[in-house]
Amino acid sequence: MIEIAGQGPGPFAAMMLSDMGAEVLRIDRIEHAPVVEGKDGPVDAILNRGRRSVAVDLKNPAGTALLMELVAKADALIEGFRPGVAERLGFGPTECADRNERLVYGRITGWGQDGPLAAAPGHDINYIALSGVLAAIGEAGCPPVPPLNIVGDFGGGGMLLAFGVVCALLEARQTGKGQVVDAAMLDGISLLGALLFGMRGQGAWSAERGTNLLDGGAPFYGVYETADAGWVSVGAVEPKFFANLMDELEISPADRGEQMDRSNWPRLRELVAAAIRRRTRDEWSAHLQEKEICFAPVLDADEVPLHPHVSARGTFVEQFDTVQPAPAPRFTRTPGAIAGPPPAPGEHTEEALGDWGIGQTELAHLRESGAIGAAPAVRP
């Protein structure tokens, strides 16, 4: 697979595919756009794990010709430019299909390859805003709350692209022909909202934020502050879980009322909040974690890898001096693995190109023309 370097959803899709065993060759720019730096380098470096990087000037005709040589040998290519950019640079879907009719061409954008907004700029927050999902997140009477950039960039974007590429690869094995995967974050976010839109269509979801079953409106499905200013989550939707929660909080049947009586929800919320404030987060964890309730403490990023269940499953691993999420999902016969550390841009230029069949004479010409860059001295 060839990955044309980008930000956010494209690298995430390439990371997922690499974790599952795909050989992904990352095409980085020779001149790099500014990146946000952390104490150990670019903050998005984990997204680049598990693949080799070559530095190619795709505005140089020799660089474009090199890319097309690689395309002829690849199963898939992914890129995240705005519509029309790859075509202007000379490696759009038509040009690539002419070199390799089996190639799957994966494209990730915010708005999609067509439509009035196709060429417009945007970020995760804009795509989730237009999808209707952002309007549903937040407390009643308060502004919508951006759910980080997880829903758009990664769930509705990168994961959708990875899924689409794998589906197209399976189809290409049957037909011998590739195709374009148009993965739009707007489409993916909308798909993630299938339950929301279904409930809305059936009259079971109010447009008023924070008043519904799953958005914090229900007192038995929400987050509560504890005695030590920590937080816990409860999700006691089913009647038996609700009854167990009420019993553990010592809220009597007379006080709790009917579970689905929305007129009683504000009062019940106050009772639940008062009960939970009687103990610390860790005390509630010790008391409720093994009960039939649907409960979990709210952990911060540093605490998550240390939790006994997370630790037992190996959900996080420490590799290359960084604690990071392990490959997922899991398989019984072919477990995923992180193939290597995040590369410095262009770190493997000559080594990887040689493995892809580019000879030493051609490499020398590419260096002389400025189409490829020299390997950097250090990894980020």
> How far apart are the C-alpha atoms of 334 and 43, rounded to whole Å?
30
Annotated catalytic residue: which of 123, 182, 247, 365? 123
Cα–Cα distance for residue pair 350/302, rounded to 1 Å: 38
Q: Tell me if residue 123 is catalytic.
A: yes
DSSP3 helix / strand / coil % (the chain, rounded to 5): 40, 15, 45
Query: Beta 76-79 vs 104-109: how paired, if at all?
Result: parallel
Q: Is 348 a catalytic residue?
A: no
Closest alpha carbon to 4 in 109, 68, 69, 81: 81
- Least Cα distance to 83 among 52, 119, 59 occurs for 119
Report the number of secondary-structure helices (H) and strands (E) in the chain: 15, 13
17 burial via Cβ count (<10 Å: 0-12, 13-18, 19+): buried
Nearest CA to 325 out of 74, 336, 240, 334 is that of: 336
Q: If DSSP codes are grouped into helix, strand and coil, which group holds residue 328?
A: coil
Of 153, 187, 215, 348, which residue is the catalytic one?
153
Region label for 142, one of left (φ > 0), alpha (ψ between -120 and 50) or beta (otherwise): beta
Active site residues: 123, 153
